[in-house]
Amino acid sequence: MRRVVITGLGALTPIGNTIDTYLKGLQNGVSGAGKITHFDPEKFKTQIACEVKDFNPTDFIDRREVRRLDRYAVYALVAADEAIQHAGLEPDQLDLDRIGVIWASGIGGLRSLEEEIAYNADKETPRYNPFMIPKMIANMGAGHISMKYGFRGPSYATVSACASTGHALSAAADDIRLGRTDVMVVGGSEAAVVEVGIGGFSAMKAMSTRNEDPATASRPYDAERDGFVLGEGAGGFILEELEHAKARGATIYAELAGYAASSDAYHITAPHPEGLGASACMRNALAFAGVNTDEVDYINTHGTSTPLGDIAELKAIQSVFGEAAYGLNISSTKSMTGHLLGAAGAIEAIACVLAIQHNFVPPTINHFNDDPEIDSRLNLTFNEAQEKDIKVALSNTFGFGGHNSAAVFKRFEG
């Protein structure tokens, strides 16, 4: 089959609004968490989140257009544009019928829905905004990117909770491998730091309530972890068929060598306690890539900072990798960015590509107390980035409903 390479990256995250600043945030172990500013959170037990900072959408998009977009779609357009520019794509010089967009979002335009319901709640005759539906539906990130650039290939969204972008990467790579397209714009965006989002996850008792010290609230693998910190933002990729990329002289940042999906078939929110679905997913992704377990240098885990999830994933890693698990680096970048839900797989896969490009392992920050349930022989890259020659990196994303995705990235060897 045709080979799929990565020729462009774009990021808008709680620890950096561009690829370069995101890289620095990962290298320096920056925490993106703080008190929520998008609304007054005092009524909720959780009052913290990892928000995008110092961002003005009208710096990128016309003011009139911004009014017609939910924040998640704004984030999508900004990250996609950086990826397109980073790849040096010139749409007027390419076959637009051979370029598609698959853009993920786990929730879509939650803010737009919330605002419309609140606005009309006390009105005898509701008057809903005619743009409400186009603003809130999860496919419009892909739609707006396609419309902006005239890309006429396949265009749709993948929605599988926190595995959404992992599935988008898989679907887009398949389109290229099977000869349907030559270039795919792929990514995910999320903007769920709104009252409904915080209230819903708070009711589930899924999020950290460490409001007095938000910077250390996201602490995967720490004995005192108490839930995830909600994040927002976007990440984007340009996936390209290898010969197409070479023909236009593109810089190749990594190869998407393998990927797989599976289901826990176990519970609506909890992972399988032994990580059986996650194990199958990683095993199949490695087999697709033709990579042995002892060839993997780094795993960017789903690592949400939840008591059950962290343990189940590490059990799955040990099941798949055996003794090789002790020779590789593992980390959760959610300790820095928080959990971007459907966009988590986007910025975490980007972290894997940046690790390959810059030979470092991003850290798991906020580690204070060892968890006796975690094997101390595992290198979870606590608190500081580590220099390392990374040739192969694995990215895991797992979602509510038991949806699992794994992707294998390799240094491009020509």
Active-site pick, 50, 162, 281, 352: 162
Average pLDDT over residues 388-402: 97
Contact 311, 154 (CB under 8 A): no
Q: What is the CA radius of gyration of the chain?
A: 20
- Give the contacts of 17 (CB within 8 A, at least 6 positions apart): 11, 52, 53, 54, 55
Q: Which of 86, 339, 367, 403 is catalytic?
A: 339
On whether the CB atoms of residues 166 and 261 are closer than 8 A, the answer is: yes
In the three-class reduction of DSSP (H, G, I as helix; E, B as strand; rest coil), residue 105 is classed as coil
The mean pLDDT value of the chain amounts to: 97
pLDDT digits (tens, 9 = 90+) for 71-89: 999 999 999 999 999 999 9
Average pLDDT over every residue of 358-363: 98
Confidence of residue 110 (pLDDT cuts 50, 70, 90): very high
CA distance linking residue 310 with residue 374, whole number of Å: 9
The pLDDT of residue 303: 97
Q: What is the CB neighbour count within 10 angstroms for residue 255? A: 21
Which residues does 62 contact at the CB level (< 8 Å), separation at least 6? none
The answer to whether 339 is a known catalytic residue is: yes
What mean pLDDT comes out for the span 196-203? 96
Q: Is the pLDDT of residue 199 over 80?
A: yes
Structure tokens at 109: 């335009």
Contacts of 55 (CB under 8 A, 6+ apart): 12, 17
Please state the rounded mean pLDDT for residues 337-348: 98
15 contacts 25 by C-beta, under 8 angstroms = yes
Give the span between the Cα atoms of 196 and 189, in whole angstroms: 17
Mean pLDDT on 243-262: 98
Q: Is residue 38 flagged as an active site residue?
A: no
Query: How does residue 1 score in pLDDT terms, banded at 50, 70 and 90?
Result: confident
Residues constituting the chain: 414
Check: pTM over 0.95? Answer yes or no.
yes
Question: Nearest CA to 410 among 247, 244, 288, 278?
Answer: 288
What's the whole-number mean pLDDT along residues 323-331?
Answer: 98
Q: Is the pLDDT of residue 218 over 90?
A: yes
Catalytic residue among 302, 352, 367, 403: 302
> Helix count (H) and strand count (E) of the chain?
13, 14
Phi, psi of 125 (to 5 degrees): -120, 100
At residue 414, the pLDDT reads 77
CATH numbers and ranges of domains, the chain: 4-247 (3.40.47.10), 261-410 (3.40.47.10)
Q: How far is CA 24 from the centre of its chain?
A: 18
The pLDDT assigned to 83 comes to 98
Please tell me the predicted confidence (pLDDT) of residue 275. Answer: 92
* Ordered alpha helix ranges (H), 178-225: 195-203
- In this predicted structure, the answer to whether residue 186 has a pLDDT above a threshold of 90 is yes
Given a contact cutoff of 8 angstroms between Cβ atoms, the answer to whether 33 and 212 are in contact is no
Instruction: Evaluate if residue 335 carries a pLDDT over 80.
Output: yes
